[in-house]
């Protein structure tokens, strides 16, 4: 039986955000530990937010090229269910993090053309899941969360991939159903597309996004 679309809402900063995203039907809630992001939360804030996450909803920690000191402190203080690696982590580093912390790891791959697709097989060997996101512009401050989509037709001729994957990048309530239909993805991720301003989540937009994703 098809379990339906799985939705990750990323960059939650308040208890109200957490409850609204869970009520809307998100299956993963993302906490962003990249200090330059408008969606950043510190470990104490995330630890408090984690308490409000309903059972059955996964708590995902987003980090960018994090070293062991940061990950030791993070995993000590925040009860995460998954780590999202959104930097330029090598396959060896992904495997090391997975082994050291005993948590499922989702590696993000930036996609802007066919050449980027080769990384899918390489990282499938070491990660539990992949996220395919738009490659950030060269001058971008953030490696993700820029509200930019990539050419979804790059995924249309894909061969069988061995690991679950999630579509990200510039998704919102208006385009998510089309994105799901065109790519065949079973999982979608959104940050800026459900915000009224950078880092400010909007409960109605989260609700509309989840309803649109489920309608596809
Ligand atoms: O959201 C951020 O600020 C961010 C910062 C650093 C790395 C990743 C980040 N966000 C991730 O990117 C996807 C796509 O974002 P968007 O929907 O295009 O705004 C987001 O869901 C996060 O997983």
Q: Which domains does the chain have, with CATH numbers?
A: 6-215 (3.20.20.70)
Ligand 1 closest atom vs CA 193? 17
Ligand 1 closest atom vs CA 131? 23
Please, where are the H alpha helices in the chain?
15-24, 43-51, 68-77, 91-101, 118-124, 176-183, 203-215
User: Which H or E run includes 1?
Assistant: none
CB of 30 shorter than 6 A to ligand 1: yes
Residues 109, 18, 95: CA angle, nearest 5 degrees: 30
Q: What ipTM score was computed for the predicted complex, to two decimals? A: 0.97
pLDDT in tens, 4-24: 999 999 999 999 999 999 999
Tokens of 202: 């909007």
Q: Do residues 20 and 203 lie in contact, with contact meaning Cβ atoms separated by under 8 Å?
A: yes
pLDDT in tens, 83-126: 999 999 999 999 999 999 999 999 999 999 999 999 999 999 99
Give the integer Cα–Cα distance in Å for 76 and 70: 10
């Amino acid at each position: 039986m098809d379990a339906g679309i799985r939705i990750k809402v990323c960059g939650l900063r308040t208890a109200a955000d957490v409850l609204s995203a869970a009520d809307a039907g998100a299956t993963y809630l993302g906490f962003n530990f990249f200090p330059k992001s408008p969606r950043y939360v510190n470990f104490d804030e995330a630890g408090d937010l984690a308490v409000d996450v309903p059972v059955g909803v996964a708590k995902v920690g987003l980090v960018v090229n994090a070293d062991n000191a940061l990950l030791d402190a993070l995993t000590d203080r925040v009860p995460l269910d998954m780590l999202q690696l959104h930097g330029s982590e090598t396959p060896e580093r992904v495997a090391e993090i997975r082994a050291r912390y005993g948590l499922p790891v989702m590696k993000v791959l930036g996609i802007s053309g066919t050449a980027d697709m080769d990384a899918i097989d390489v990282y499938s060997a070491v990660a539990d899941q992949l996220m395919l996101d738009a490659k950030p512009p060269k001058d971008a401050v953030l490696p993700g969360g820029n509200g930019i989509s990539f050419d979804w037709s790059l995924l249309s001729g894909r061969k069988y991939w061995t690991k679950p994957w999630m579509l990200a990048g510039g998704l919102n309530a208006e385009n998510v159903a089309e994105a799901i239909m065109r790519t065949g993805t079973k999982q979608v991720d959104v940050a800026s597309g459900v915000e009224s301003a950078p880092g400010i989540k909007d409960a109605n937009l989260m609700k509309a996004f989840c309803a649109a994703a489920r309608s596809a």
